[in-house]
Amino acid sequence: MSIEIEDSKQTEELSELDAYTQARMSFLEHLADLRRRLVYSLIAGAIGFGICWFFVHDLFQWLLAPLQVAAPEAGLAQMHHKDMAEPFFTLLKTAIVGGIFLAIPAILYNIWKFVAPGLYPGEKRMVVPFVVMATFFFFVGGSFCYFLVIPYGYRFLLDFSLQVSQPTLMMSEYFAMTTKLLLGFGVVFEMPVVAMFLSAMGVITHRTLLKHWRMAFVASFIVAAMLTPPDVVTQAMMAGPLIVLYAISVAIAWFFTRRREAKAAALEASLEA
C-alpha cells in the first residue's frame, strides 16, 4: 500500500515537472518569436528609411505644407534652427518616421503572426483582412490629421500667438508636434480593427462596449488632450472622430459577436441532437 502511494506521488511530481518544463519551453519559444517579429519589423522599417532618405527634403516640405496653408502670413511658415546639427537630425527623424509609415503593412503583419498561435484555425485566416483594414484605417487617420486637423489647429495657434508676439518656428519642434499628431491619429483610428479582432476572439462583445460608453466618451477627450496641442479646436477635432470610431467599433463587435454566438448555438444544437 505504501509503495503504491509513493509511486502515485512520484507520478504526480513528474507530471508537474513535465507541465512546468512544457510551460517554460512555450514561454521561451514565445519570447523567441517576439524577438523574431521585432527584427522583421525593424528590417522593414530600415528598408522604408532607406527609401525615404532619398526624398527626405521633399518629405519635410510635405510636412510643411499644412503650416503654409494655415499661416496668415507667408513669412510665418519659415523654419529656423538653433544650431548647425538641428537640420541634419530633424531630416534624419523625418526619414525614420517616413520609413515607419511605409513599413506599416509589414509591422501589422508581424503583429498578427505573433498573436496567431493563440487563435483558432478559422481566425488565423483573417490575416489578410486584418492587415488591409488596419493599414487602411491607419492611413485614413493620418490623412484626416494632415488635411483637416493640422491646418485648422495650426491656424488657431498662429492667430492666438500673433496677439502676443511674432513667433519664430524651430524646425525640430515643428517636426515633433506634427509627427506626433500624424502617428497619434493613425494609431487611434485603429480602434475599429482592434474591436473586430477582440470581438472575433470573444474577448469583448458589443454589450461590453455599450456598457462603458460613458467612460469611453470621457476617455476620448483625455486621449485628445494628451496627443494634441493645448487648444480646444484641435482636441475637439480628435475627440469627435474617436467617439464616432467607438460607435463603429460597437457595430463591428455586434456583427462578430452575433456570428460567433450563432455558431456556438448551432454547435450546441447539433450536439444535443
Q: What would the pLDDT profile of 188-214 be if each residue is shown by its tens digit? A: 999 988 888 888 777 888 888 888 889
**Which residue range forms the structural domain that includes residue 25?**
12-186
For residue 5, CA distances in Å to 12, 15, 17, 18, 212 come to 11, 15, 18, 20, 53
Q: What would the pLDDT profile of 231-267 be if each residue is shown by its tens digit? A: 777 788 888 888 999 999 999 889 888 887 787 777 7
In a domain, 46, yes or no: yes
- Is residue 179 domain-shared with residue 201, that is, in the same domain? no
In a domain, 32, yes or no: yes
pLDDT score of 65 more than 80 = yes
Residue 23: what pLDDT? 43
- Is residue 55 domain-shared with residue 161, that is, in the same domain? yes
The Cα–Cα gap between 267 and 229 comes to 52
- Is residue 143 domain-shared with residue 215, that is, in the same domain? no
What sign does the CA torsion over 186, 192, 194, 197 have? Answer: negative
Residue 20: what pLDDT? 42
Instruction: Return the residue matching grid coordinates 447539433.
Output: 270
pLDDT score of 168 more than 80 = yes
The predicted model gives 123-149 an average pLDDT of 87
Residue 27: what pLDDT? 65
Residue 122: what pLDDT? 66
The Cα–Cα gap between 220 and 242 comes to 6
In a domain, 1, yes or no: no
In a domain, 172, yes or no: yes
Average pLDDT, the chain: 83
- Is residue 29 domain-shared with residue 164, that is, in the same domain? yes
In a domain, 2, yes or no: no
- Is residue 82 domain-shared with residue 120, that is, in the same domain? yes
Domain termination site, one of 170, 186, 202: 186
pLDDT score of 14 more than 50 = no
* Bridge partners of residue 170, in order along the sequence: 80
Residue 237: what pLDDT? 83
In a domain, 5, yes or no: no
Domain count, the chain: 2
Domain termination site, one of 166, 186, 206: 186
In a domain, 4, yes or no: no
Instruction: Return the residue matching grid coordinates 483573417.
Output: 126
pLDDT score of 18 more than 70 = no
The Cα–Cα gap between 111 and 34 comes to 9
In a domain, 103, yes or no: yes
pLDDT score of 10 more than 80 = no
Domain termination site, one of 154, 170, 186: 186
The Cα–Cα gap between 65 and 26 comes to 50
Q: Number of C-alpha atoms within 13 angstroms, CB side, residue 43?
A: 8
- Is residue 264 domain-shared with residue 229, that is, in the same domain? yes
Backbone angles phi, psi at 79, to 5 degrees: -95, 150
